[in-house]
Structure 1
Amino acid sequence: MNEPDVAVDEALPAPRPMPHGLDPDGLTVGVEEEFLLVNARTRRVASQAPSVLAAAADRLPGLRPELTRFQLEVATATCRTAEELHRQLRTARGTLTAVAREHGLRLAATGSPVLGRVTPPPLTDHPRYEALIGQYGALADALSLCGYHVHVGMPGREYAVQVSNHLRPWLPVLLAISANSPFWDERDTGHASWRYLLWSRWPSAGPPPRFASPAHYDSAVRTLLHTGAALDAGMTYWDIRLSAVHPTIEVRVCDAPATVDEALLLALLTRALVATALAATEPAPAIPQHALRAALWRSARDGLEGMGVDAVEREVLPMRELTQRLVEHARPALEATGDLAVCTELLDAVLRRNSGAARQRRAFCRRQRLTDVVDLLTAQTAGATALT
């Protein structure tokens, strides 16, 4: 029998203590990065992913196709240290950049395309993607979007549900730090993360509910499947979900980060939040879905440079202040892993030089040319520039 939904003010049981021998400071982490391909001459998105995939398959483990032929995805192996993850992120971007160049292309880490026609998208040849069009129609027009997914190893599904509940308040802050998609359809959308808002139109997307147990989580997924809101479990597009393939929790709220350093920062902050959640002794705060969605919209609009919402207290505050609250919240976990110094340095750099979205707009404002935005993106992706 399905479990009833949990009311927002209903008390959940206290978190279960971590199993004996689990080291919360040694949690594994891995990421999935999505990229766009652009023509090196025109800077428009290029539907040549199959060629790049074929050429790079033997050089880069974890490389795979995405929903459209504009996109590629690469997954790191399971990592335990910041140094290991950083090395894999750099290797993946470097290899893909080199292969793309061999095909007259460039690699762009951005949440949304800047130049070129993207609707309807050129779907990757797969029956599942054809079924998406049949079931969801024009919703599929927004498939040419790139996100960043962080996987953190879990000792069990009960702990993963506990972590999901505790991470919900921090989703708006992670989104703001990653915001990197202000342009769509060759114009400025007025939002720092247009990707997030487009993706949230899917009926199985957005912030996850507050779950009482793994059975409650499974019941919610069955509802998505039964109603047709999802074709399969892989279409559980919540911002946090229990992986159906790996023993991990997957945090999916972020735009594709512009640089390797930003990708590393987001992964380390996410792992620290997960470790903090596992160490919690009190139930997660009860945040109504409407309040959390409002906070996420504000982050998607303002990004890192504007105002944000403390989803627990319902306060509107500068997002920069909320990022500092996140670091303080996760400080014990960051100290335990030795990641506090590197996270502080990387976050300070982003705060000083501004978010990916702000940098895109700054590049455009210099000469009012979208090609300059693409040039910035491809240079940042390849590591040819710092956070400028």
Structure 2
Amino acid sequence: MSLEAFQHSEPLTLGVELELQLVNTHDYDLAPYAEDMLRLMLKTPLPGSVVPEMTTGMIEVSTGVCHSSSEVLGQLTQIRDALVKSADKLNIAVVGGGTHPFQQWHERRIYDKPRFQELSQLYGYLSKQFTIFGQHVHVGCPSADEALVMLHRMSRYIPHFIALSASSPYVQAHDTAFDSARLNSVFAFPLSGRAPCVLTWEQFGQYFDKMTRTGVVKSMKDFYWDIRPKPEFGTIEIRVFDTPLTIERAAALAGFVQSLAAWFLAEQPFTPAEDDYLVYTYNRFQACRFGMDAVYVDPASGEHMPLREHIVRTIDHIARHATGLGASGALHMLRGEATAGQNDARWLRGRMQDEQLLAEVSRQAALRFRGGT
């Protein structure tokens, strides 16, 4: 199979996907209600889509094409409200967060869809362990070559995205000591991590042809990279975000991505190079492990600094682009939380410290998703 053509998209448009937890309202464990939720959601006309995910206790929602973070929030609000209404009818709840805090992977069931069954056969128990929950953000690019350059520029900010969205400190009833433990599960898959540093679509096509000839890759879906091009949409797709606990945070993160992309397109601030990736895995680990307390190594200068300081510095630098996109409020929210060293992982640990019961933490997270706290 040859690489498909990179489709036209309007530059800086956004699309957001959220993978969400379905939990019962008895003990707040994951509940296998995806099929019932899909059936009920079909009755409500909505932007974007609602589709199944790997296992039956999860569901994925997506917006349509949006032009601003406020439009993202508007569409996610419609989808969220319909999800909550449908969940109430089933006596279940919908929850954000990158992991369910105490579900047992061996109890999960693979959703009955050919691709999911195929992946289950290939990856074995990893497929059920893939009951994790992420946010993906698509941003429109002017051309295929500019998409690849944007992808590699955006890679410098992967730690920022991880720390700002981190919401997966608990796995199977244990505090992992990571703010984002979810990404450790993603890293277990082959063809995860970073994309190859090629800067033209012709070079990328050559790489893709080599990979397909090995038989390891059949389509772009086989790449689990942190950021990957999506030629069918004319976008790049950033995949490292944990699903936030609120749709407001999800929309704000999309506004941050859009503002960065606007800066890249307007000012061409630096040329990506392979050397950018010398500290990539270290920075990624730091953000997963320590969140807002991570150390960030600037790939250009080698300077070490607190990640939260670099987040604030970056937001201030791109503020004028955010203003032009109507994203100033979104970035103001993220800047305030970075300055305070706060993220959803901290919120979850705070609730656990107060309640001493993970089921109660999940119950409060469900209220937070529906706008209750």
What TM-score comes out, normalization by structure 1 length?
0.87
The code of the aligned residue for 1:359 comes to: W
- Gaps (5+ residues) in structure 2? 3-7
Distance in 2 between the 1:200 and 1:313 partners? 27
Secondary structure in structure 1 of the residue aligned to 2:136: strand
Asked if 1:53 is matched to 2:41, the reply is: no
Counterparts of 1:1-388 in structure 2 under 5 Å? 27-59=12-44, 60-61=46-47, 62-119=49-106, 121-227=108-214, 229-279=216-266, 280=268, 282-349=270-337, 351-352=339-340, 354-385=342-373
Name the CA shift for 1:357/1:281 in 2 (closer, same or farther; >3 Å).
closer
Deviation at 1:353, TM superposition (A): 7.5
Q: Is the 8 A contact 1:169 1:287 kept in 2?
A: no
Q: What is the DSSP-based 3-state SS (H/G/I as helix, E as strand, rest coil) of the residue aligned with 2:304?
A: strand
**Aligned length in residues:** 364
Separation (CA, whole Å) in 2 of partners of 1:288 and 1:155: 23
CA distance, structure 2, for counterparts of residue 42 and residue 202 of structure 1:
31
- What is the CA-CA distance between 1:287 and the residue it aligns to? 3.3
| Shift in alpha-carbon separation, 1:255–1:225, aligned structure 2, 3 A | farther
Question: What is the CA RMSD across the aligned residues, in angstroms?
Answer: 2.3
The answer to which of 204-213 and 165-174 deviates more is: 204-213
CA distance in 2, matches of 1:231, 1:47: 30
Quickly say closer, same or farther: Cα 1:100–1:199, change in 2 above 3 A: same
Which residue in the other structure is 1:9 paired with? none
Change (3 A) 1:228 1:203: farther
Q: What SS does the aligned partner of 1:107 have?
A: strand
Give the CA deviation at 1:112. Answer: 0.7
Quote how far apart the aligned CAs of 1:81 are.
2.7
Whether the aligned pair in 1 keeps the contact of 2:311 and 2:338 (CA below 8 Å) is: no
* Alpha-carbon separation, structure 1, partners of 2:214 and 2:360: 44
CA contact (8 A) 1:204 1:229 kept: no
Contact persistence 2:191–2:224 (CA under 8 A):
yes
CA distance in 1, matches of 2:235, 2:276: 25
Q: 1:119 to 1:369 in 2, by over 3 A?
A: same
- The sequence identity of aligned pairs, in percent, is 27
Alpha-carbon distance in 2 for matches of 1:199, 1:271: 24
Is the contact between residue 243 and residue 250 of structure 1 (CA under 8 Å) also seen in structure 2? yes
Matched residue, 2:5 = none
Change (3 A) 1:191 1:224: farther
Give the CA deviation at 1:231. Answer: 5.0
8 Å CA contact retained: 2:251, 2:330: no
Q: Which runs of 5+ in 1 are unaligned?
A: 3-18
- 1:215–1:150 distance in 2 versus 1, CA, 3 Å: same
User: Whole-Å Cα distance in 1 between the matches of residues 308 and 243 of structure 2?
Assistant: 20
Change (3 A) 1:194 1:281: closer
In 1, distance between residues paired with 2:278 and 2:271? 20
Question: What do residues 217-236 of structure 1 show as CA deviations (whole Å, max 9, x unaligned)?
Answer: 23344454444554532122
1:208 shift after superposition = 2.1
Q: What is the CA–CA distance in structure 2 between the aligned matches of 1:368 and 1:330, rounded to whole Å?
A: 41
Deviations 1:253-298 (A, max 9, x none): 1110111221111000001111222230641254354520111011
Tell me the amino acid that sits aligned with residue 200 of structure 1: F
The amino acid that maps onto 1:307 is V
Q: Secondary structure at the match of 2:315?
A: helix
Q: CA deviation at 1:183?
A: 0.7
Counterpart contact for 1:305–1:355, Cα < 8 Å:
no
Show CA shifts across 1:68-88 (max 9, x none).
Answer: 111111111111133322111
- Cα 1:281–1:82 shift into 2, 3 Å: closer
